[in-house]
Every structure is written in structure tokens, then in C-alpha cells.
Amino acid sequence: MIPNKSFIILRYITIVVLMASLATCIIFRAGVIIVKEKKYWEAVGKRYIKENQTIYPNRGNIISADGKLMASSLPEYRLYVDFGHAKNTKEKDVYKKDTLLMNNLAALCKGLHELFPDKSEMEFRKTIMKGRKAKSRHFLIYPKKISYLDYQEVKRLPVFNQSPNLSGLHVEAFNRRKKPFGSLAMRTLGDMFPDMTKGAKNGLELTYDSILNGHTGIVHRQKVMNKYLSIIDKPAIDGNDIITTIDVGMQDIAEKALVDQLKNLEALSGTAVVMEVATGDVKANVNMTRGNDGNYYEMRNLAVSNLMEPGSTFKTASIMVAMEDKYITPDYIVDTGNGIMNMHGSPMKDWNWYKGGYGKIDVTKILEVSSNIGVSSIIDHFYQNNPQKFVDGLKRMSIDTPLNLGFVGEASPRIRGPKERYFAKTTLPWMSIGYETMIPPIYILNFYNAIANNGVMVKPKFVKAISKDGTIIEEFPTEIINPKICSDTTLTMIRTILRKVVSQGLAKPAGSKQFNVSGKTGTAQISQGKAGYKAGGVSYLVSFCGYFPSEAPKYSCIVQIQIPHGPASGGLQAGSVFSKIAERVYAKHLFRDINAAKDSLSIFVPKVKQGDMAEAAYVLRELGIKGNSSSIPYVNYPVWGTANTSTTAAELHTRKLNDHVVPNVVGMGAKDAVYLLEKLDLRVRLSGVGKVESQSIPAGSTIYKGQTITLKLKY
């Protein structure tokens, strides 16, 4: 028999009854909450969950054809400090936070001033004390947005290197679209609205907005343990990158050449476009307009939107139509008389009419000297009874076929037909020399590009691929607009003539001593609409369009400049710009055999900077320069040192570096200096261009990780 059996049973019964009662109470209470108090508790729960918020994705980058970043979204921050505290904060914690600030205030203000020198230490002190006095929970301590790198430096400063609860430091983050190359190709790339959530305004940013933008996500905030946590319901998908056809080097060459000439002429605007003949890839697109301050800026994409009468660059198309219809050949003779000819009651003049004109000249000479009478006489003679045949001939060459490039404000050519209003007897002869038609520069260039491309007209291309995380996911092939704009016979004749226009005609300034250039000049008075051509003085559009090298064309190019007054010359004013662009592009991108450039009688020993001697030794060995370069093997890591050069040899000296002291980088190139210093955990700032002239932290000083060193560069 079990002792105290009745007591044990009673105890277990009591426990079971209590547990059953508790369970019943819980079930009953749960039932009340579920049924009767349901709405109340749902309302309480909602107070702990914030509404869904949109997550904006990172916008894709725009990358140049040569792999350089042309537009990217970079984070920026505004700095705030919480000088207050929560209601339930212990007094000792409040005291600790305030003591930390006051004990380190001087060091903090000094650090902020070093990072942001536009504001003094005293100004930072006054700002911080003002926020402390107000006990503000969200006090702005610096008015400007700062970069991510600066934000990381701020977090290393005294006080701010503590936890957010103790330091009070917090930020508002923003995304800003930045162009590392400044205004270079700015109008082609396009712009974003200041509030990037509103999207793109123009250019490639707008054309490819759906690709660059990505897809938004959704997040809600829920309070857990007295803190709000972000819970992602739908992740944001970052945008893809687009790889443009623009070559940064060519863009820079074209912009420099054009802007220099615009300044010389005090021009109103100008555009220069360089295109790869075979692919239609637009390598450079410069569009400059004069601002109120007299400087030139990219305001509009003139290459695709400037709808103007092209002038004499259109004569090539007119002559090709007559050649294709077998009315003329290059030796066909036209009597241009004394430089003035009556065309249906209106005088047609050649530019040298005051010298007595050209008299009888052939078609080749007509284009060489850009004779208005020569071209208009041919077209009027053969097409005056059937002007539609001439217009059909132009359209057959696809000079007016819409390109649909996708840019906002893009214009299409306007070539008037005989059935349209205001088509008079004078329309045909004036149309043949580039008036009475309106054609954007990109269309004129595309036509000449087709001549260079053996008659194949391709569509100009500004974007060649889409990539994601460095991997190409879609490529855009070359599109053919017209597989043959004319017969091979016409093509051979016109290419021969265009080469002579540059070598023997008015386009000589567009030529080069290094290679052959083909093309045509253009000079046109600019119409003022109903006011005519002479209201307020005559302004001009001067241009040159062509390709190079003539024998095997690689690039085509157009230069158009609007000048407010005469004298006007397409060859001198636009052709000279073309020549500079062509020669610099040729020198940079169309390489000659290095063996052809060697001169055994001359030895040039280049100056060797301080820096990586392994790379220097490799170059010196390849050039065959005498010295000790063979003693330094080529390895895939830097070998630091210095060099001494003479007129006949180069001696290299290596040196070992101490990882704990600041090295001497004076005399190094920026690339080597930055690499070396950043490997030592120093932050580098550059000022100027060239090699290092001075460094802000003396060589031999002890290294403190994260310290900023400023290098002054000079040629």
C-alpha cells in the first residue's frame, strides 16, 4: 500500500483542475479577442506596422564604347545630429551622451573643418551648440550634401565614431545622377529631373529609361522590441547598364576642335558628329550653343533636331540623281557664264560672280568650286518638265528616310514635292543647291557615310549593348536602311569627284598631309522665316561633310557652324575643324606599323618617372633603350624605385618601402602614387594634373590609417 495515497491523488486533482481552469480562461479570452475585440486589436496592430513604402532601385550606368563611366547614380547624404533623448532614457545615459560631445567638441569641429573647409571650426562649433541648446532631434549640421567617401570620413571623427544612439549622428540619403566627364556629350547622354523618382528629361536617359530604371520594390516597417524593422515584401530590381557607341577620346577631340573655332568666329552654335562608316556607330556627337556669358554649352542635340537648309553639301545628292538617271558624267560641260544666270526670273549667282564667274566647266569642276549655276542648270535642264522624277531620285537614295533615333525633339527631313503648296518654277533649281529643303545634320552625315560605305546606308547607332553586372545581355546589330543607294558606276564617279573637291577644290582646308580626305563644303544663308534671308543682317550656316581615309573609309564626319555675319566659307571655317578632328582621330585610332616609324639614326630616351620600375623596365626593353632594365624582371606586382636618364641610356634603381611610414611620392605619376598610398590605407586627394610636385604629409611621417593626404600635381 502506497503511503499518503489519498494526499497524492488530491494534489494531482488540484493541479489538473487548476490547469484546466487556466486553459479554459485562456480559450475564453482568446475567443473574446477573436470575436468581440477583433476590430480593436486589429487597430492596435496596425499602429505597429507602417504603411508600405516604395523601394527605388539603383539606376543603371551609361558606359562609353571604350569602357569609361559616363553617367552613374551616386549616393549623397545630409548630416544630422540628434541632441535630444527618448522619454524613458536614464539620466546617466543622457549625461554620458552630453559629456562625450563636450569633451570632444574641439576635435570634432576641427575634423569637420578639415573635411569641409568652406566652414570654419568656429562656425561648426556655433552650429553644434545651437542644436544642443535647442535639444533638436534632427538638427542639420552642414548645409550641403556630401559624398559617400566624405560620409565614411565623418563617421571616423571623434564622437561620430560611436554608436548612433550615443553620437546622435544620422543622415538622409539621396541619389544623384553624375557625369564624371562633366559636359562631355552631355546632351547626348541626357538629364534626369532633380528628383530622380520623376524620371529622365531627355537624351539617352529618356530613350532608354525603361532599361536603365529597373523595377521598384515594396517594403513595410514593423515595430519589434521597440524598434522598427524593414520587412521586404517585393525586392527592387536594379536597372541595367547601357553601353554607348560614344568614344570619350574622340568626343574630347571633336569638342576641343569645334569650341576653339566657335570662339574664333564668335559663332551662334555648332555641331560636330563622327561616325564609324561600316557600323553606323556614332563615336562623337558635339552640340554647342553660345550662352549669354559668351561661353559655349551643350543645350540642344543640334545633330538630330536642327532642321535647316543644308546648302552646298546637298549638291552631291543632286549630281548623283542626274548621274544615276544617266544624264551626266564627270566630264559633262556646263556654261556657267559670268557667274550670274537668270533662273525663271530670279538671279542665280556663283560665289565669284564679281570676278566674272567660271565660264564653261565640267561636273567635277562644278563640285570642286561649288558652282550654284553649274548644279542648278543641270537639274533645271533635265528635270524642269518632270520635277517629281528628281524628287523620286532623292528619295531612292533614302536621304529623307526617317531614322527614328528615339531622341526627344528629333526632326525629320522635309523635301518638298511638285504637288505640294508653294512649289514654284524656281523651287527645283534652288532645291538642287541645298535651299527649299530642311535636313538635320545627322541625315546629311548618314548620306555621305553611305557613299563611303560602298553605297550601303546604315542607321546611326548611339547604343550598342545592354549589360547587367558586367555581362552583355543584349546587343544591337547594325541596321541597314538601304542596301544600295545608287549603282556602282555612280558611286565610283562621285567618290572620285569628292576626293578632288578636297585635294584640288574649295575644301582644301579640310584635307591632311597624312592621308586622303573626301567630302563637300557647304555655305548657306540662314532663312529668318517670313522675314526672308536678309532681315537683321545675313547669318550663315557653314559646313563640311566627308570621310577618311578616302581609299578605305573608316570614319565619316560632319561639322556645321552657325555664324552671325560674313564672310562665310564652309571650307575655311568648317573644313579646318574637320581636318583637326580627322588628323587627331587618325593619329589615335588608325595606327601605322611601328616599324615604319623607327629611325635607326636617332635615339630618344624618354624621361622615366618615379614609380613602378617593373613596368618602366618592360617598356625600355621593348624600345631597345640601353641601361639596366634587363636586371628588373617583369612581374605582376609593383617594384618601386627611381630612374636616372641620359641622352643614350636609362638606369633604374629599386628601393624597399616601410609599411609604417609615409613614402616619398614626389616625381611619381598620379596612377602609381594613388595606388601606393591607398595600399597603405591612406586616403588620397589630387589637385592639378601631371606628376606629383608636393605631398601634404611629409615623407617619413608615421602612417595613421584613414588619414587624408593631398597630392599637388604639375606638368
The full set of domain ranges for the chain reads: 5-47, 248-589, 611-714
Inter-residue contact 177 to 71 (CB < 8 Å): yes
Residues in the chain: 715
Name the CATH code of domain 611-714 (choices 3.30.10.20, 3.40.50.280, 3.40.30.10, 3.40.50.720). 3.30.10.20
pLDDT at residue number 49: 53
**Share above pLDDT 90 across residues of the chain, in percent, rounded to a whole number:** 45
Inter-residue contact 436 to 547 (CB < 8 Å): no
User: What letter does residue 676 receive in the DSSP assignment?
Assistant: H
pLDDT at residue number 4: 64
At 595, the pLDDT band (50, 70, 90 cuts) reads: low
Q: Is it true that the peptide bond before 567 is cis, omega within 30 degrees of 0? A: yes
Q: Which of 304, 305, 486, 497 lies closest to 395 in space, CA to CA? A: 486
pLDDT at residue number 98: 83
pLDDT at residue number 638: 81
Average pLDDT over residues 498-525: 94
Which of 465-469, 586-590, 632-636 is modeled with the greatest confidence? Answer: 465-469
User: What letter does residue 239 receive in the DSSP assignment?
Assistant: P
pLDDT at residue number 466: 93
pLDDT digits (tens, 9 = 90+) for 314-343: 999 999 999 999 999 999 999 999 999 998
The grid coordinates of residue 176 equal: 544623384
Asked if CATH classification 3.40.50.620 holds for the domain at 248-589, the reply, yes or no, is no
pLDDT at residue number 3: 63
d(CA 606, CA 669): 14
Average pLDDT over residues 429-449: 95
At 17, the pLDDT band (50, 70, 90 cuts) reads: confident
638 or 211, which is more confident: 211
Is 32's pLDDT higher than 90?
A: no
Q: Pairing relation of β-strands 437-438 and 414-415? A: antiparallel
The grid coordinates of residue 572 equal: 575655311
Q: Which of 175, 497, 208, 168 lies closest to 328 in space, CA to CA? A: 497
- Average pLDDT of the residues of the chain: 86
pLDDT digits (tens, 9 = 90+) for 605-617: 777 778 887 878 8
d(CA 683, CA 707): 6
For residue 8, list its beta bridge partners.
none
68 or 607, which is more confident: 68
The grid coordinates of residue 286 equal: 558635339
For residue 190, report the phi and psi dihedrals to the nearest 5 degrees. 95, 180
Is 593's pLDDT higher than 70?
A: no
Please provide the DSSP assignment of 572-633 as one string: IIIIHHHHHHHHHHHHHHSPPPHHHH--TT--------BEEHHHHHHHHHHHT-EESGGGS-
pLDDT at residue number 381: 93
pLDDT digits (tens, 9 = 90+) for 665-684: 888 888 888 888 888 888 88
The grid coordinates of residue 468 equal: 547587367
Is 591's pLDDT higher than 60?
A: no
> Long-range contacts made by residues 49-52, C-beta under 8 angstroms, separation at least 24?
49/220, 49/221, 49/222, 49/223, 50/220, 50/221, 50/222, 50/228, 51/220, 52/218, 52/219, 52/220, 52/233
Is 602's pLDDT higher than 60?
A: no
* Residue 445 neighbours by CB under 8 Å, 6+ apart: 273, 275, 303, 460, 545, 556, 557, 558
d(CA 559, CA 271): 6
pLDDT digits (tens, 9 = 90+) for 556-578: 999 999 999 888 888 899 999 99
The grid coordinates of residue 469 equal: 553586372
Fold equal for 248-589 and 611-714: no
pLDDT at residue number 453: 97
Average pLDDT over residues 580-602: 69
pLDDT at residue number 669: 85
Question: What is the SS3 string spanning 392-409?
Answer: HHHHHCCCCCCCCCCCCC
Average pLDDT over residues 390-406: 94
pLDDT digits (tens, 9 = 90+) for 528-550: 766 666 666 688 999 999 999 99
Lowest mean pLDDT across 52-56, 418-422, 601-605: 601-605
Is 214's pLDDT higher than 60?
A: yes
At 352, the pLDDT band (50, 70, 90 cuts) reads: confident
Is 53's pLDDT higher than 80?
A: no
Average pLDDT over residues 573-594: 83
Q: Which of 322, 314, 337, 289 lies closest to 564 in space, CA to CA? A: 289
* Residue 391 neighbours by CB under 8 Å, 6+ apart: 415, 416, 417, 418
Q: Which of 65, 143, 142, 144 lies closest to 109 in space, CA to CA? A: 142
pLDDT at residue number 222: 64
Lowest mean pLDDT across 312-326, 631-645, 696-710: 631-645
At 688, the pLDDT band (50, 70, 90 cuts) reads: confident
Lowest mean pLDDT across 237-251, 635-649, 681-695: 635-649
The angle formed by the CA atoms of residues 620, 625 and 626, to the nearest 5 degrees, is 120
Average pLDDT over residues 244-265: 94
pLDDT at residue number 340: 93
Pick left, alpha or beta for residue 246 (phi over 0 → left; psi -120 to 50 → alpha; otherwise beta).
beta
The grid coordinates of residue 265 equal: 568666329
pLDDT at residue number 685: 87
Inter-residue contact 330 to 362 (CB < 8 Å): yes
Other beta carbons within 10 angstroms of residue 599's beta carbon come to 7
Inter-residue contact 183 to 133 (CB < 8 Å): no
Is 227's pLDDT higher than 80?
A: no
Is 50's pLDDT higher than 80?
A: no
490 or 715, which is more confident: 490
The grid coordinates of residue 601 equal: 639614326
Inter-residue contact 608 to 668 (CB < 8 Å): no
Inter-residue contact 17 to 175 (CB < 8 Å): no
Please compute, for residue 691, the number of CA atoms within 13 A of its CA located in the half-sphere on the CB side. 12
Q: Is it true that the peptide bond before 549 is cis, omega within 30 degrees of 0? A: yes
Please provide the DSSP assignment of 10-28 as one string: HHHHHHHHHHHHHHHHHHH
Q: Which secondary-structure segment (H or E) carries 269?
A: strand 269-276
Place of cell 558586367: 470
d(CA 461, CA 244): 9
d(CA 197, CA 175): 10
Lowest mean pLDDT across 166-170, 214-218, 518-522: 214-218
pTM over 0.85: no
pLDDT at residue number 46: 59
Q: Report CA-CA distances (Å) from 85 to 128, 140, 243.
A: 16, 17, 50
Q: Report CA-CA distances (Å) from 151 to 79, 168, 172, 175, 362.
A: 8, 15, 11, 14, 72
pLDDT at residue number 654: 82
Please provide the DSSP assignment of 304-361 as one string: HH--B--GGGGHHHHHHHHHHTTS--TT-EEE-TTSEEEETTEEEE-TTGGGT---EE
* Residue 13 neighbours by CB under 8 Å, 6+ apart: none
pLDDT at residue number 75: 84
Average pLDDT over residues 154-165: 88
Q: Which secondary-structure segment (H or E) carries 673?
A: helix 670-679
For residue 653, report the phi and psi dihedrals to the nearest 5 degrees. -130, 125
